[in-house]
Amino acid sequence: MKKTGTFLLALLITAFFLVSSLYAQDELFEKGRRAYLRGDFKSAVKYLSEYVARTPDPEALYLLGYASYEVKRKTGPAKGRRDFWGDTATRRYFKEAYLIDPNVSARTIGPEKGKK
């Protein structure tokens, strides 16, 4: 009986940490999405990079590609240039997003449609 109780306690603790870890992951995506939507692209890159390092999510990769593009366009050596798609990080994020889900687009991640 004592072994069963210990096993159940260990199982509950494991489930708690798993659920809290998943919640923290979704929170990173939401923080990144909100930062992107308000134009804080550096913060969006930070949060979304952390998120995709643990969760290969096409929506997050897509947003990360655009946020990375905006950061480099506004602060990089080609400041102000619109043609910055040649950046390897930006290209890689988009490529990974489309490999996971060829239908990913800005419409799937707009302000009213974020992750559930």
DSSP H/E element including 9: helix 2-37
Supply the pLDDT for residue 77. Answer: 63
In a domain, 114, yes or no: no
Identify whether the C-beta of residue 64 lies closer than 8 Å to the C-beta of residue 93.
yes
pLDDT bin (cut points 50, 70, 90) of residue 22 is: very low
Is 29 part of any domain? yes
Residue 41: pLDDT over 50: yes
CATH number at residue 75: 1.25.40
Residue 24, domain extent: 2-109
Does pLDDT of 32 surpass 50? yes
Which tops the pLDDT comparison, 25 or 58?
58
Q: Which amino acid does the sequence have at 61?
A: L
Q: pLDDT (tens digit, 9 = 90+) per residue, 43-76?
A: 999 999 999 998 889 999 999 998 988 888 777 6
Q: What is the CA radius of gyration of the chain?
A: 18
Going by the DSSP 8-state scheme, the letter that residue 39 receives in this structure is T
Whether the model clears a pTM of 0.75, i.e. scores above it, the answer is no
What is the number of domains present in the chain? 1
Average pLDDT, rounded, for the chain: 75
- Does 69 map to a domain? yes
